[in-house]
Each structure stands twice: as C-alpha cells, then as structure tokens.
C-alpha cells in the first residue's frame, strides 16, 4: 500500500470525484459501493457539481451502500438511507431501481442480509467501492475482533463507533442503535477497485495500522493490504503516524 497524501481533504475529494466520474465514463453501468459518515461528504458534493456541469451521467450506474443501522427505517432521519438521500441521491440522476440499500427495519435481519448479498451477486459485485475507515480500523461495520465475516451480516456496534455516529441522532450516542447490518469483508475485498479516504488526526493511528501493521482482524482495514487495486488517499494529519516516507 502506498498512501497518497493530498494537501487537503478538499483536494482529495475533488480527485476522488474525478476518479469516479472517469470510471462511470469508461463503464456507464458501473456498480459502485458507497459509504456514509463525514469522510465522503465532500466527494458527494463534488459529484453533484460534476453532474450539474454535465460531466457525470449516472443514469445507468448502480449503487450499493455499505451498511445501515438495525431497527432504523429508511424514513428515519438518522438512517444512512436518509443521509444518502440528503447528500447525494436527491441531486443526481441515478435510477431509483438501481439504488440498493439494506433495510434496517426488515423484521428478519438475517433474511435481509441474504437478500442484499444475492442482489449484489446478481449485479456482478462491486466495480468500485469508496471507503472510509473507522478510528478503530473498521471497514463499513466490520468491527475489530477475533475474526471477521465474509458475507453480509448483522453485527454489534462498538462503543467507539456509536460515539462516532452520534451526530445522526441529535449528538446523543445512547440513541445510536446497538446493532447494524453490513456488507461483509467478502464484498469489499472482491470489489474490482477500492478507494479509501481518511482525513484528520483522529484517523492517523488507524491509517498506520492499516498500512504498516500486520494483517489482522484487530484492524479490519489491514486486509486491504491483500487487494490488488487499492488507493489510499489521505490528508497530512491522517498520514501523521506513518513511519515510512510515502
């Protein structure tokens, strides 16, 4: 892994949006994996701007979001679906039937995960997945632990992760659901290309562990060391714990 250090988060976001737009131009039916959180906000804003300038056409593309809170419906303002509607889906020309999402309110979470995995398989898997990284090294909601799961699954959220998502629930971490549904490590590692973004000092240790540490379920992002086509794009604070000159 050879992280690219941009001068600023905004520069990285512009480059990331351009990379996605190039990929869609090369393959209009691109299957994109998309994250939520603070990290991709500027990328979504740049993509919306590209579309407004006529430089991006998503009409044939498909999207699969990485995860959703358990017990939270799409209509809930704290849901990842609501976040995506607000920041991206409402502003671009994706076909609604090609927007794929886990339904956090599905009565049978395991069946919902199986449905989502089957939909992704039918779509041919992810062509390009955009990722953030948790301060604890998680990818999507694949949290650090003794082991990792390949398929889409229901998972418990760590305390750190619930704290990091409090902003979606009125800054009250106690209101963040205890569990989530998430794509597993399989869908992520089988994506044909990966772009991981990390900004800010709070990500510095996770970036170091991902890039320089051992491949271990204690840092799920470290498994990206095994991927052939992964771009790690960071700002200087997120690169500050790296010991090797990049």
Which residue ranges make up the site for ligand PGA (CB under 6 A)?
Answer: 37-39, 132-134, 164
How many Cβ atoms from other residues are within 10 Å of residue 77's Cβ?
A: 11
**Which secondary structure element, helix H or strand E, spans residue 160, and what is its range?**
helix 159-164
Of 3 and 37, which CB lies nearer to ligand PGA in the complex structure? Answer: 37
How many Cβ atoms from other residues are within 10 Å of residue 214's Cβ?
A: 9
Question: Is 67 labeled as catalytic in the residue annotation?
Answer: yes
Q: How many helices (H) and strands (E) does the chain have?
A: 7, 10
Shortest Cβ distance from residue 43 to ligand PGA (Å)? 11
How many Cβ atoms from other residues are within 10 Å of residue 207's Cβ?
A: 25
Of 21 and 188, which CB lies nearer to ligand PGA in the complex structure? Answer: 188
In angstroms, the CA 241 to CA 201 distance is 9
Of 25 and 159, which CB lies nearer to ligand PGA in the complex structure? Answer: 159
Question: Is 138 labeled as catalytic in the residue annotation?
Answer: yes
CA dihedral 170, 153, 34, 198 (to 10 degrees): 70
Give the rounded distance of the alpha carbon of 47 from its chain centre: 15
In angstroms, the CA 196 to CA 40 distance is 10
Question: Is 65 labeled as catalytic in the residue annotation?
Answer: no
Q: Annotated catalytic residue: which of 42, 136, 142, 165?
A: 136
Q: Annotated catalytic residue: which of 46, 65, 117, 138?
A: 138
Q: Annotated catalytic residue: which of 46, 67, 112, 127?
A: 67
Shortest Cβ distance from residue 38 to ligand PGA (Å)? 4
How many Cβ atoms from other residues are within 10 Å of residue 107's Cβ?
A: 7
Question: Is 136 labeled as catalytic in the residue annotation?
Answer: yes
Shortest Cβ distance from residue 228 to ligand PGA (Å)? 22
Of 37 and 184, which CB lies nearer to ligand PGA in the complex structure? Answer: 37
In angstroms, the CA 192 to CA 120 distance is 13
Residue 134 DSSP class: -
The residue with its CB nearest to ligand PGA is 37
Residue 28 DSSP class: T
In angstroms, the CA 29 to CA 31 distance is 6
Of 106 and 157, which CB lies nearer to ligand PGA in the complex structure? Answer: 157
Q: Which residues are catalytic?
A: 67, 136, 138, 143
């Amino acid at each position: 892994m050879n992280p690219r250090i941009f001068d600023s988060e905004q520069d990285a976001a512009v480059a990331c949006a351009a990379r996605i737009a190039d990929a869609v131009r090369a393959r209009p039916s691109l299957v994109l994996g998309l994250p939520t959180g603070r990290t991709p906000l500027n990328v979504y804003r740049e993509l919306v701007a590209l579309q407004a300038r006529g430089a991006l056409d998503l009409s044939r593309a498909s999207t699969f979001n990485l995860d959703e809170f358990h017990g939270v419906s799409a209509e809930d303002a704290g849901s990842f679906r609501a976040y995506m509607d607000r920041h991206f889906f409402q502003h671009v020309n994706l076909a609604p039937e090609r927007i794929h999402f886990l339904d956090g309110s599905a009565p049978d979470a395991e069946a919902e995960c199986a449905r989502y995995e089957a939909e992704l398989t039918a779509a041919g898997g992810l062509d390009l997945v955009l990722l953030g990284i948790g301060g604890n090294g998680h990818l999507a909601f694949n949290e650090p632990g003794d082991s990792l799961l390949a398929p889409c699954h229901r998972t418990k959220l760590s305390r750190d992760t619930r704290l990091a998502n409090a902003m979606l629930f009125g800054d009250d971490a106690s209101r963040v659901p205890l569990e989530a549904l998430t794509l597993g490590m399989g869908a992520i590692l089988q994506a044909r290309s990966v772009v991981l973004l990390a900004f800010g000092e709070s990500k510095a240790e996770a970036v170091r562990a991902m890039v320089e540490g051992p491949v271990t379920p204690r840092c799920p992002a470290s498994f990206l060391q095994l991927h052939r086509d992964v771009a790690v794009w960071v700002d200087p604070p997120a690169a500050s714990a790296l010991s090797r000159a990049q």
